Chains A and B, each alone.
Chain A
Amino acid sequence: MTNGDTSNVLAARIAPGGGTVQEDNAAELARAPLAVRGLTVSYGEKPAVFSVDATFADKAMTAIVGPNGAGKSTLLKACLGIVPRVAGEVRVFGQPLEAARHRIAYVPQRASVDWDFPTTVLDVVRMGLYREAGLFGRFTGRLDTRARKCLERVGMADFATRQIGQLSGGQQQRVFLARALAQEADLYLLDEPFAGVDAATERAIVDVLKLLKAEGKAVVAVHHDLATVADYFDRVFLINVRRIAEGTVAEAFNAETLAAAYGGRLAATHVDELVLAGPLT
């Protein structure tokens, strides 16, 4: 099946009958840094992500928000092909995943790896260059400069030769971000980049991400802290296994959508506070 075929079939399935909607949808799929249609992932027979449509915009920071077990991380992993999908289509800059994989940089959850691994900070950043260097390419000259620049951008240049186990949580997260930066990608997918980091690191990461956005890149992050959604992000994607809401923070992040995503798990007054706090700051 060629590219054009897929998008048409998908678009037709999503917007049956509506001619303009169909065209918009097709155009969106061809353009957006990341678009998924009908994405379903399940562990066993319990769906973790069910029939989700999502379109992530360029020149924007999007937060994926939802309660624990809502499928936020799974959505990212399915977009990257790390977990197999039961059904659905993933498009990256209008292309199938494999054709555009080199344009994506991924920052996994910090807790997903063993930090006692025998490797140094610079070695970890070099991992982001493995695809470019190939099996035998040496990390000298251009690639070495790039790796060190990325460490500088996250304020970790002085730590290049440290064993990664000696780093604090915030420093580990910065190293992971530097590794993603080294890929010089156009789409950045981050899984809980602010989990368990100190305030200075949170600030530093936000600054780097905002700079990426200013360069025209797309940034998508799984985010847990509802209080900072409006401060850090332009757009929000609310999920609880199914898609709840999607749009700019002003459009899609309000008491109604949060209640729909979190159900009874979030007190109504709490929701009002969060949503009121957002635009005012």
Chain B
Amino acid sequence: MSAFLDAVLLQAGYNAALVALGATLLGFAAGAVGTFLYLRKRALVSDALAHATLPGVGLAFIAMVALGGDGRSLPGLLLGSALTAAVGLVLIQWIVSRTRLAEDAAIGAVLGVFFGLGIVLLTVIQTFGAGRQAGLESFLLGSTAGMLRAEALVIAAGGTLAVLAIWLLRRPMTLVAFDPGYAAALGYRVSWIDFAMMGAVLAVTVIGLKVVGLVLIVALLVIPPVAARFWTERVHLMVWIAALIGGASGYLGAAISASAPALPTGPIIVLVAAASFTVSLILAPARGLAAAVRRQNQFQRRVHRRQGLLAIARSEPIRERYTLKLLQRESLIRPDGMPTDNGKAAAAKVSRDERRWEVARRMHQDAGLTGRYDGLTPIEDVFAPDEIREFDRRLGPPAPVRG
């Protein structure tokens, strides 16, 4: 536990602090960029994009070695990965626009072919003398051991650029995600805005190779926005909530993995993000599962309460056990089923409101008002007191409930 605390407080050594910083920035950028990717319904394209980085890594290594260089220089490898990922992206667009194949088929084809090609290249590189120590396979799942300051700076620079692009273009991107036809009618170039968005996704993917690896980067792009969606109904808030969830997942994940020797950073970060998703799914106030169950129960209670009180008003017996329990809990009936004075008063009110609604519906033909008649909405929520007095005037004096 103290190892974890040290890591959280950035006291677990220079490398751990560097990794935590890089992972936080990466998660933040991925959350913000991923929000628009998710809203545009292109989340899976990023998975193909990520897998299409692998041949670029191999080709860049071969090119750098052939030119007499080190071959392991991170900027060079990232540049190569960005190039083949861009080729993969263009190929997906081309397949979708020029053939009858749907996007999911194009994604599958590009993902598989590019990843396969990348694995072949990596295997070939293994046979080179210098290739054995290259550690290129670490790009598959990320590897933060021995992360350098320069590498953290690359992540910081790429992440900042991506977030900046998102911030600058947040309005057109929102519009294109919600209603591309209207965006085009206003004169926005939808393809350019999509291009900018995919550019930001590409930047996040490439800088994420070192920390979480190409197999799992899609999780960092998708999970934070999906979790954030539970907490808000506004895009501009969702972007920052997703960024915070992503950043926090990166930070906590890095700290957890630094606190024990055998915990891989990337997968742990993804698991932390998944945990935040699960918490959001269950606990979010409006869209969460717990809230939905609570609303459903409340609704059921109101239906049973109303029907029980109407039965009292009509002097009919109540047979449903749940209704009886409910009315008894509120002291509206006695254990023997007979209404209390409170129960009679409540029953009179419910049956009177029922007749008020009838008058209201005759008087107001406007669907906007009487459309809210569902037998459960209190009439006081829809009509003003003077309107209700008018209904009462037409109804005549209230009738007492016997029993």
Q: Which residues of A contact B (CB under 8 A)?
A: 77, 80-82, 98, 101-102, 104, 106, 108, 112-114, 117-120, 123-124, 127, 130-131, 133, 135, 155, 163, 179, 189, 198-200
Contact = CB atoms under 8 A, between A and B. Distances in A.
B182 A114 contact: no
Contacts of B174: 119, 127
8 contacts: A82-B181, A101-B185, A108-B182, A118-B234, A119-B233, A130-B175, A130-B186, A135-B169
When A and B form their complex, which 3 residue pairs have the shortest distance between CB atoms, in order from nearest? A106-B185, A163-B233, A82-B184
B178 A113 contact: yes
Given A131-B186, A135-B169, A135-B171, A200 B368 contact: yes
Contacts of A117: 39, 177-178, 235
B185 A82 contact: yes
Given A101-B187, A118-B238, A112 B178 contact: no
Contacts of A102: 187
Contacts of A101: 185-187
Contacts of B172: 130, 135
B233 A200 contact: no
Interface string B163-181: 0000011011011011101
B229 interface: yes
Contacts of A106: 181-182, 185-186
B323 to A, nearest CB: 30
B77 to A, nearest CB: 34
Contact of B232 (A118, A124, A199): A118
B368 A127 contact: no
Contacts, number: 73
Contacts of A123: 234-235
Contacts of A155: 368
B233 A114 contact: no
Contact of A120 (B39, B181, B233, B366): B233
A119 B235 contact: yes
A141 B172 CA distance: 22
B181 A112 contact: yes
B185 A112 contact: no
A119 B178 contact: yes
B229 A118 contact: yes
A80 B229 CA distance: 33
A80 B171 CA distance: 20
Contacts of A163: 233
Contacts of B187: 98, 101-102, 131
Contacts of A104: 185
A138 B186 CA distance: 19
A104 B186 CA distance: 8
B367 interface: yes
Given A117-B39, A200-B368, A127 B182 contact: yes
B239 to A, nearest CB: 10
A106 B366 CA distance: 29
Given A118-B233, A131-B187, A133-B171, 10 more contacts: A77-B181, A80-B185, A101-B186, A118-B238, A119-B174, A127-B174, A130-B172, A130-B186, A200-B366, A200-B368
